[in-house]
Amino acid sequence: MINQTIMNQIGCDKYTEHRQELIAAFKEVRQQTLNLTSTLSAEDMQIQSMPDASPTKWHMAHTSWFFEAFILAKFQSGFSWHDPMYHKLYNSYYNALGEPFSRAKRGMITRPSVDEIRDYRENINARMTTLLTECRDAQFKEIAPLLVIGLNHEQQHQELILTDIKHALFQNPTYPAVFPHDGARETQPDQRWLAVEGGEVSIGYAGDGFCFDNELPRHRVLLDDFEISNRLITNAEWLEFMQDGGYEKPLLWLSDGWAWKNENQAKAPFYWVHEDDEWQAFSLAGLRSIKPNEPVTHINYYEADAYARWTGCRLPTEQEWEHAATLLSAKDADEVLCLSQGLSQGLRWEWTSSAYLPYPGFCPAIGNVGEYNGKFMINQMILRGASGATQCGHSRFSYRNFFGPSARWQFSGVRLVRLD
């Protein structure tokens, strides 16, 4: 766990002198994927419950393919594919590497089996460990940046394994409890508004360690003063919105949101089930009563936006969120913890009102890995923070998560900013 955290804090000029820690981080991250999936059956791992969610088995293979395609294929002497067919099946969206298999049909890949995918993982682990251990320093210097991207990539998929399997398990009428806990059951403190001074502020990653290309370049923006809530919106507050007819008032909704709501007959957050005269929510630990003081979860951008309008407040922009988190974390006060716990402890990904766009002067990562982020900068909204399903040490204040405005299956919540 220690190595997983520090891998993002080492500057790339120091990768060579930290070779052993990076090899240890590789082993830890790879093992963590297996740990997360240890309570799943082969049937659980096969299913794809919607086009946006991938089978666990596919995530396990794809994260291995990433190391094979971006590192072993380039740097291993005498390289050959573990299985040439895997190169097509487990390429997600890297068109420069060949035509990927249909995303919506990943659940149809019944062969290779889960056991064969486990063998694939072991094969990649062994070849990677040999390469990382035996290569010369000059080569390690070239490999290490791709290794760190690959490890952060696998951590992103670890969160997706949880969000995707939650969606799949929810389709079961038995609401199975497959994990010991949901990792997301925290009470919220009393509401307070935290004043944040605006001005000309810098946004984007500023440290020496790892960040994704979409967090750069650091640049200046002009912000007015604003006030941000010390906590996330709770289930109790969301229930008030529902009881006030929030889902039935067209003036609260964006046009696309209203169409989405009608088409999907949305009346409550995703995974909420009205049973036994009360609202319950499906979690990775099964169906449970709604706890009033916990942050509301699994709402999409349209719902977050409508809720904010109902309160007379608004969602933060991503620049306001990052500036507030950075500024308040530098102060030594209890109130600061309320805001930064969304990041350091992981509560919910927080919707912002910002579209996912390139920062001025954005340069995609060099090489084929340049397809990682940049090409998705269209039709998506930014979420900031982290969730209970985010791996420890993976996120940071400049981290930009992104999903389409109708996406509800991520662990997403709402934090408000006051208008004046």
Q: Which stretch binds Fe ion (CB under 5 A): 90-98, 178-186, 268-276, 309-317?
A: 90-98
Sign of CA dihedral 210, 212, 217, 221: negative
In terms of CB distance, is 158 or 354 closer to Fe ion? 158
Indicate the residue whose CB is closest to Fe ion.
Answer: 92
Confirm if 121 and 30 have CB atoms less than 8 A apart.
yes
What's the CA gap between 271 and 291, in Å, rounded?
A: 14
Binding mask 236-255 for Fe ion (x = CB under 5 A): --------------------
Burial pattern 272-309, b for ≥16 Cβ within 10 A else e, equals beeeeeebbbbbbbebeebeeebbbbbbbbbbbbbbbb
**# residues contacting Fe ion (CB under 5 A):** 1
- Based on the shown chain and the rule CB under 5 A, indicate whether residue 188 belongs to the binding site for Fe ion: no
In terms of CB distance, is 210 or 271 closer to Fe ion? 210
Site for Fe ion in 267-296 (CB under 5 A): none
| In the complex, minimum distance from the CB of residue 10 to Fe ion, in angstroms, rounded to a whole number | 23
* Cis geometry, peptide bond prior to residue 217 (ω within 30 degrees of 0): yes
In what order do the strands lie in the sheet containing 401-403? 401-403, 381-385, 349-355, 412-413
| In the complex, minimum distance from the CB of residue 157 to Fe ion, in angstroms, rounded to a whole number | 6
What's the CA gap between 123 and 252, in Å, rounded?
A: 53
- Based on the shown chain and the rule CB under 5 A, indicate whether residue 373 belongs to the binding site for Fe ion: no
Confirm if 356 and 376 have CB atoms less than 8 A apart.
yes
- For 372, half-sphere exposure in the C-beta direction (CA atoms, 13 angstrom radius) is 23
In terms of CB distance, is 92 or 354 closer to Fe ion? 92
Confirm if 268 and 246 have CB atoms less than 8 A apart.
no
In terms of CB distance, is 37 or 92 closer to Fe ion? 92
Sign of CA dihedral 259, 301, 94, 219: positive
| In the complex, minimum distance from the CB of residue 185 to Fe ion, in angstroms, rounded to a whole number | 28
| In the complex, minimum distance from the CB of residue 92 to Fe ion, in angstroms, rounded to a whole number | 5
In terms of CB distance, is 147 or 221 closer to Fe ion? 147
- Based on the shown chain and the rule CB under 5 A, indicate whether residue 92 belongs to the binding site for Fe ion: yes
Beta strands 278-283 and 286-289: pairing type?
Answer: antiparallel
| In the complex, minimum distance from the CB of residue 216 to Fe ion, in angstroms, rounded to a whole number | 20
In terms of CB distance, is 247 or 372 closer to Fe ion? 372
In terms of CB distance, is 153 or 415 closer to Fe ion? 153
Q: Which stretch binds Fe ion (CB under 5 A): 92-100, 120-128, 262-270, 297-305?
A: 92-100
Beta carbons within 10 angstroms of residue 93's beta carbon: 11
| In the complex, minimum distance from the CB of residue 156 to Fe ion, in angstroms, rounded to a whole number | 7
In terms of CB distance, is 226 or 372 closer to Fe ion? 372
Q: Which stretch binds Fe ion (CB under 5 A): 84-92, 131-139, 317-325, 397-405?
A: 84-92
| In the complex, minimum distance from the CB of residue 33 to Fe ion, in angstroms, rounded to a whole number | 12
Beta carbons within 10 angstroms of residue 316's beta carbon: 26
| In the complex, minimum distance from the CB of residue 93 to Fe ion, in angstroms, rounded to a whole number | 8
| In the complex, minimum distance from the CB of residue 153 to Fe ion, in angstroms, rounded to a whole number | 6
In terms of CB distance, is 177 or 377 closer to Fe ion? 377
Interaction site with Fe ion (CB under 5 A):
92
